[in-house]
Structures are given as C-alpha cells and as structure tokens.
Amino acid sequence: MAGYVINGPEIEIDGPPAVSDAASVVVASLPEGTRAWPPPGEAERLERYQRCRQLYRGEHEAVYVGKGKGRYTYDWTRPYVAVNLCGEITDLMVDRLFGEMPRITAGNREKGSNNAGLFQRLIKWLEEHVPGLGGELASPSASANSALATGDGAAQSAAPVDDWVDRLVTRSKLHSLMIRVATGASYRGDAALKVRWEEGRGVTITSVSPSYLFLETAADDTDTIIQATIGYIRWQGKQPYLFLEVHTPGQISYELYRLHGSSGSSRYSYNPVDDRMPLETFADLAKYPDNQITGVDDLLIIPIALGADDEAGAYGRSDYADIDPLQGELNNRVTQRAEVLDSYANPWMFGPKSIPDEQGNIKQGDRYIQLEQGEDKPGYLIWDSAQEAVSEEIQDLIQQIVLTAGLSPESFQLAAEGAAESGRALKLRQFRTASAVQMRQIVYGEALQQAVSVASKLAVVRGEEGATTLEPEDVLLVWQDSLPVDQFEMVQTAAIEVDSGLASRLTTIRRLHPEMTDAEIEEELARIDEDRAAAAPTPPAGGLGLGSFIKPIGGGAQPGQPASSAISNADRENVTAQANAQTTVGNPQAAG
C-alpha cells in the first residue's frame, strides 16, 4: 500500500522567493496555455511578508531608508538607529500565547474506535475517485481489513487516546513549533500547519511557510479552502524548476515543471503540458508517486490567518499593518537626536585668527590658549536643540505604537513605577493585552483542534497504536496566560471557594494543579484526610471534649482510664430521669 505513504519532501530553501514590483504586473504577453510564476495577484502578499520579516529582525534601515523605500534620510557616516518595537510586540504576543504550552487532550476519554466507519468511507471514496484501487484495498488481506474494520489489532491496543495525543505532541515538538509558527504569523499575518506521516516516526504536525503556500477557496465561501499548493523554485545548474505539492481533500499530487526565466528575474513562466518533467529529475523526488491517496477526507494543510475580516479571503493581516509608519517615524526621531548629540560632542569652534597655527590647527595638548589684547574669546558653536521636546515626542510615539497595536502600556513597563502588584492587579492593568491574546487563542485553538483531528484520522489509517478518530470538537485545549503566578492568591481564592461551598476540593486542586490526573487528585485528597486525622487532638477521658474542667458524673473514670468506664449504667439512668423531670416542670403539655 505504497499509495498511503504520506511523506512529502522536506527541502531546505534559502529564503522566500524574491519579488519585485514587476511581479505584480499581469503577464498579458505570455503564450496561450502558459502560466506565470509566482501566480498573478500574489506578489503584493509576498512583498508584505518580506518587508515585515525585515521589521521583525530589526533590519529597519533596509525598509525605511533608500530609494523607493521611504522619505527618511540621515548622515551616512554614522549608524542608523532603530528602536525595534515591532519585534518586541511580536515577542510579547508569542510569550503570552505559548510561553506555557496549552494542555491538549481528547475531550471524550471513553471514546471508542471509529475505525469501521472510517474504513467504509475510505473504500467508498476510493471507488468513486480511483477506479480499481478501492477493490485492491478491500481484497489483498482479509485479516488486515478485518482488524481495521472491527477495531482489533495494533490500532486498538490498550493505550488510551489521551496517551496517543501526548505522543503526538511530544514527537511533533509542538511547543517549540508553535513558538516559531506564532512568531511568523505575527509579522506576516499568516501561518500554516501541516500533518504528515514519516516511516519510523509516525504521524506528526509540522509547519509550512506561507511564502510558499498558495490557497484556493470556494467561489461562494472564502472560508472554505478547496486546494492548498506548496510551490517553490529548485535549481539544477543554471536551470530553474518549479516543484508543486498540491493538496486536495483525500489526495496529494506532486508536479515538476521546467521554468523559463533568468536567475536574476523574479518572473518565470511554464507550460503545464510541454514543460512537465518527471520527478526523477531530482534524486530526492524519485521515490514519490505522482499522486498519493491520504485516506483522510480533509486537507493535510491547516492555514492560520490572524486579524482577518469577512472580506480578507484566506489570508490574514500583519500585526505591523497599522504601526509600520509610526515605527519609521520613531526610528527617524531617534536617529536625528543621535546626530544632534554627535554634533554636540564635536562642535564647530569660533575665535580670533591668532589661535590656529600656520596650518590652521589648534594646539590642544597644553590646554592653554593665549589671547592678544582686544581679541575675542574662542567658543563652541552650539544652539538650543530642545532635547526635552524631542524626548517627549519619542515617548509619545512609543505610546502611540503600543496603543495602536491594541496592547496595554503596562505590558511594556511604560506605566509609572510603583509597589509590587498582585497577579490580579497585573491582569486588570493589562486588560487590552489580555483581550488581544484571547482573540488569538481562538484562532490558534481552532487550528490546533483541526490539526490534531486530521492527525488522528491519518494515524488511524496508518494503524498507529492508541489512535482514535477525533473530530475538532473532541479536542480540548486548556490555555495559560503566561503571567507570573501568584500562588498565594490562587490558594487563598481556592480556600475561600471551598469554605463557602462554591467549589469542591477536587475541583480546586484540579485548577491549582492542572498537570495532575483525577486519580492522582483522589489519592492526594485521601492523604490530606489521613494527615488531618493524625493531627487532630485526642478527645479527653469522658468523651465530652471539655478536658479536666468537667468531672465525670458519678465519679467516672479519671483521665487515662478507658472511656467505657467513665459513666455507669446507673449514672446514665439518673441523668436521663433528671433531664426528663426538668423538661416536665414548666411545660403543662408535657406534664399532661
């Protein structure tokens, strides 16, 4: 069943495809049937990616200074000064989102295998789309088919589904992966996850750079991705080739085309018929078939679009979209201030003609200047540069950038310094940042749920131990806020909830220790009860709990004697009779 090996090529590529202004022009002169690469209409998106990548990495001079890049100029004999708030904003959002990895679990722990239904859907899909292959799948191995259809065999071993999810997270290195994905998504506005299978490793979740990803949506629904194409240029000597990995539901196609265009060009063309090349042209592509059947009715590519609206289509919006001009102005003012301070450090001088020597130099080694009678004193040519106003403008620009990005100044320690605050106070003061993080948690949460769901379906097809078909709604994520934990406040709140009857001890421990399972929590509660019982004071003799302040009735047992000898039967009858007599006195109804 080689057709089920979902193992697309993983190629290291030196950066995204170069894009120039000319690439945005629709190539009308191409012969009929010839296609342009990059596709028309994608150039603006790729240019934005490149610009925002430079902003994140602090390469601001390449963005804002130079012909066609911006109106800013500066003294080329000194360094350009950049205050990289764009990069700081991205790092803050990534820290708050994935500084602590959300816990991913299968929502239904008792969920049984759905292999039989999946197997039947797979056979039906193959019969409809690949004539003959469906029968081939159903016939060769009756025992294997029986195991797949009934849920027996390796795929139905004792490992629970949550254990499989944990293994998926671990072997995908999902925590570090999501940090990288979220970083790129912040400055680009776009990211993508990819589910793949690899021999010896199993099903994993990885990422795809949106610089090489081209999406096609349904004509009547821009939220529905019907095709995702990974495309990039490969070289063999001086000849460029276009490699395409085309994903549609249930299938992946691999295509290779010879391109026409020079190495210094950003525009290429190819004919889908005449320029089609065999995959064997590159040795590492020879092992892949032209078409692979995935057995999964979803795309193995999961796009992530941040900041998108209902008119944005399949792509998102960079976190830098609104703050780009403010970042350029901030760099400009800081650079200008540095230039002024440089001129103050080495200013122009004025004075009488007798001070310089014959070569026009001033002797400064002896630190003494002799003036002739009537000569003016020398001095420095300086002026009032209003540095306070410049500093205020710079601070104002920083505030405007943070606010325009939709974040709280307190997240960047721009608010007035004061005493140490509790975790609750920190959260309340950073409510704008918290809102921005929550909006992104929704987007990333849906993408992670879809990725785990698709991975589970592919794992079931591949027969992975413990794998069970999960739908996105079956996958639960528990997010953290990545703020400093105020443990004292958390325990205090939990104690109040338990004492007031608003929460059980099990619920509060689960909240304080999300890493613990229910069984571990039950064991911990049992140990707590044992410790309380052991620490409780032993009741004094007589069993009345009042110690030596009350003597036992009828000369009962002294402290240290058995409690059973404290009160005799006769004494008990005496006490009962006296109590009844007191109850009768003053109570006519009882007396009658």
* pLDDT given at position 127: 61
* pLDDT given at position 240: 94
Among 64-78, 97-111, 424-438, 570-584, the range scoring the smallest mean pLDDT is 570-584
Among 28-32, 57-61, 121-125, 368-372, the range scoring the smallest mean pLDDT is 121-125
- Number of neighbouring beta carbons within 10 Å of residue 573: 10
Residue 47 has pLDDT above 80, yes or no: yes
Which band of pLDDT confidence, cut at 50, 70 and 90, is reported for residue 345?
Answer: confident
Among 128-132, 205-209, 460-464, the range scoring the smallest mean pLDDT is 128-132
- Number of neighbouring beta carbons within 10 Å of residue 555: 11
Q: Which residues of 9-33 are buried (b: 16+ CB within 10 A; e: fewer)?
A: eeeeeeeebebeeebbeeeeeeeee
Higher pLDDT, 539 or 246: 246
Residue pair 7/200 in contact (Cβ under 8 Å)? The answer is: no
Token couple for 587: 């109570």
pTM: 0.70
Among 39-53, 246-260, 557-571, the range scoring the smallest mean pLDDT is 557-571
* pLDDT given at position 532: 86
Alpha helices in 130-265 (DSSP H): 133-138, 142-150, 161-171, 174-188
* pLDDT given at position 472: 94
Among 79-83, 98-102, 358-362, 466-470, the range scoring the smallest mean pLDDT is 358-362
Which band of pLDDT confidence, cut at 50, 70 and 90, is reported for residue 539?
Answer: low
Residue range 326-347: mean pLDDT, rounded: 86
What is the 3-state secondary structure of 495-514? Answer: HHHHHCCCCCHHHHHHHHCC
Q: What pLDDT, in 10s, does the model give residues 486-505?
A: 677 778 888 888 888 888 88
Residue 388 has pLDDT above 80, yes or no: yes
Token couple for 134: 């469906």
Higher pLDDT, 518 or 133: 518
Q: What pLDDT, in 10s, does the model give residues 313-336?
A: 889 999 999 999 999 999 999 998
Among 26-40, 87-101, 307-321, 543-557, the range scoring the smallest mean pLDDT is 543-557
Residue range 54-78: mean pLDDT, rounded: 84
* pLDDT given at position 283: 95
Residue 266 has pLDDT above 90, yes or no: no
Higher pLDDT, 428 or 316: 316
**Angle at which helices 174-188 and 161-171 cross, to 10°:** 60
Residue 53 has pLDDT above 90, yes or no: yes
Which band of pLDDT confidence, cut at 50, 70 and 90, is reported for residue 165?
Answer: very high
Residue 338 has pLDDT above 60, yes or no: yes
* pLDDT given at position 30: 67
Residue 18 has pLDDT above 70, yes or no: no
Average pLDDT over all residues of the chain: 78
Q: What pLDDT, in 10s, does the model give residues 548-585?
A: 444 444 444 454 454 444 445 555 555 455 545 544 44
Question: 230: part of which helix (H) or strand (E)?
Answer: strand 221-236
List the one residue out of 420, 416, 412 whose CA is nearest residue 489. 420
Q: What pLDDT, in 10s, does the model give residues 505-534?
A: 888 888 888 788 888 999 989 998 888 888
Contacts by 141-150, CB closer than 8 A, 24 or more apart? 145/119, 148/115, 148/119, 148/463, 149/115, 149/116, 149/119, 149/120, 150/115, 150/116
Residue range 33-58: mean pLDDT, rounded: 92
Percent pLDDT > 70 in the chain is 70
Residue range 55-59: mean pLDDT, rounded: 96
Which band of pLDDT confidence, cut at 50, 70 and 90, is reported for residue 58?
Answer: very high
Residue range 267-284: mean pLDDT, rounded: 94
Among 199-203, 280-284, 588-592, the range scoring the smallest mean pLDDT is 588-592
How far apart CA 409 and CA 403 sit, in angstroms, is 7
* pLDDT given at position 379: 75
Q: What pLDDT, in 10s, does the model give residues 150-160?
A: 444 433 433 47
- Number of neighbouring beta carbons within 10 Å of residue 542: 21
Which band of pLDDT confidence, cut at 50, 70 and 90, is reported for residue 587?
Answer: very low
Among 202-216, 474-488, 552-566, the range scoring the smallest mean pLDDT is 552-566
Q: What pLDDT, in 10s, does the model give residues 354-384?
A: 677 767 676 666 566 667 777 777 777 777 7
Residue range 40-58: mean pLDDT, rounded: 93
**Angle at which helices 431-462 and 85-98 cross, to 10°:** 60
Residue 67 has pLDDT above 60, yes or no: yes
